Amino acid sequence: MSNQELIELGQKYLLNTYGRLPVAMVKGQGTHLYDADGNDYLDFVGGLAVNSLGHCHPDIVKAIEEQANRLLHCSNLYWIEPQIKLAKLLVDNSCLAQVFFGNSGSEANEGAIKLARKYASLKYGQERHEIITMKQSFHGRTLAALAATGQEKFHQDFQPLPQGFTYVPFGNLEALKEALGPKTCAVMVEPIQGEGGVNVPTMDFMQEVWKLCQEKDVLLILDEVQVGMGRTGTLFAYEQFGVEPDILTLAKALGGGVAIGAFLAKEQVTAAFKPGDHGSTFGGNPLATAAGLAAVNAILQDGFLEQVKEKGLYLQNQLEKLQTKYSFIKEVRGLGLIWGMELDRPGADVVSKCMEDGLLINCTNSTVLRLLPPLIVTKEEIDVAVAIMDKALSSV
């Protein structure tokens, strides 16, 4: 079927929840995607930070094939081998002690919220249930994750949302200190806000938040659904800021393209959950965790993360050159291989023009061009992408 035929069917049969671009992707290889008409795109969206190892990475394909031939699903009534192995790998490479697996970022955050509340409730009573999150944050689309999301535009029309969430401006320590009281059980932060416009906090802010949380025995939940798994140049983004979360949430790149989510917690926190407190039918299923195991092992290979840092600095440099050329580029910000370019005008036209020339980028928060290339991108591909962006920017 052609792009046009697929789009017509999709418009008829799918709920109209996404502002989709007019192409249907049917194949991927490495950093490239191909649409139904055979057009070739350099992919700097990377499935919104899911396809960090590119498309059809041989290790992931092999792991999925082997696991599909062995055992696709098995209930959490029993122990599951790849689930245990992936949990061990994550724990061995983080400051956290144990893992719970779900299927998405929202589900990971829902679990983190429940765990934080149970921990505080056991220790201080149910009054202590409030969670402070940041304005411009994004934590997912399910109701509690939506309530945690500090953006009014996502809340409209879905009231009433679960109670107990308050919001402070990202980066404003004084506002956080003021909001934090005896009812606060956790502070939830994205180490870099992805959907909110690639907003990078200062190291100082993150460290002060951590210190404050430790002083008050308030749990620090870091949502690394988008920026975890090597995106910033370290396996976890918290390493970049010299802080340690009490609870860490992961999803997007964790399964190498297969749906998976997880939250990890420190030892004193994990003890709050007992059998029956939480669960998920598909959570940690053999297929997703086998793929995750292959993905995490690939990210942990010698020199891989070093290359992410190096290529990230190179991309930053090229983007800053564009900024000196075009006065309507207000700011370039990011870390590793997540970059945002804030314009003084909407970015949708730039996205469309880039796509016409074979480059996929994304625009978030209407004016921020966001780049999330696969971590396997080459410098040559970065040059190609920047040249296409240059041309698109020159025409708006």
Beta strands per DSSP E along 258-335: 261-265, 329-335
Sheet holding 359-360, edge to edge: 25-29, 32-35, 40-43, 359-360
Q: How far apart are CA 3 and CA 354, in angstroms?
A: 18
Shortest gap between Cβ of 252 and ligand PLP (angstroms)? Answer: 6
Binding test (CB under 6 A) with ligand PLP, winner from 35, 190, 246, 342: 190
191 near ligand PLP (CB under 6 A): no
In the complex, the smallest distance separating the C-beta of residue 104 from ligand PLP, rounded to whole angstroms, is: 3
In the bound state with ligand PLP, the residue whose beta carbon lies nearer, of 50 and 388, is: 50
**Residue 81 backbone dihedrals phi, psi, to 5 degrees:** -55, -55
Of the candidates 113, 84, 88, 64, the residue with the CA atom closest to the CA atom of residue 246: 113
When asked if residue 118 is in the footprint of ligand PLP (CB under 6 A), the reply is no
Could you say whether residue 138 binds ligand PLP (CB under 6 A)? yes
Distance CA 58, CA 53 (A): 10
Regarding 165 and contact with ligand PLP (CB under 6 A), the answer is: no
In the complex, the smallest distance separating the C-beta of residue 28 from ligand PLP, rounded to whole angstroms, is 19
Instruction: Please name which of 139, 124, 152 lies closest in space to residue 223, comparing C-alpha atoms.
Output: 139
Which is closer to ligand PLP, CB of 30 or CB of 336? 336
If phi > 0 it is left, if psi is from -120 to 50 it is alpha, else beta; for residue 243 that is beta
Q: Is 226 in the site for ligand PLP (CB under 6 A)?
A: yes
Range in contact with ligand PLP (rule: CB under 6 A) among 136-144, 263-271, 303-311, 384-392: 136-144
Judged on CB neighbours under 10 Å (0-12, 13-18, 19+), 238 is buried
How far apart are CB 251 and ligand PLP at their closest, in Å? 5
Query: Does residue 105 bind ligand PLP (CB under 6 A)?
Result: yes
- Is the Cβ of residue 226 or residue 318 nearer to ligand PLP in the bound state? 226
248 forms bridges with which residues in the sheet? 222, 264
Binding part of the chain for ligand PLP, among 83-91, 114-122, 220-228, 286-294 by CB under 6 A, reads 220-228
Q: Of the candidates 128, 139, 231, 333, which one interacts with ligand PLP according to CB under 6 A?
A: 139
Q: Is the dihedral of CA 101, 200, 315, 327 positive or negative?
A: positive
C-alpha 60, offset from chain centre = 19
Minimum Å gap between C-beta 289 and ligand PLP is 16
Which residues would be at the binding site for ligand PLP (CB under 6 A)? Answer: 104-106, 109, 138-140, 190, 194-195, 223, 225-226, 251
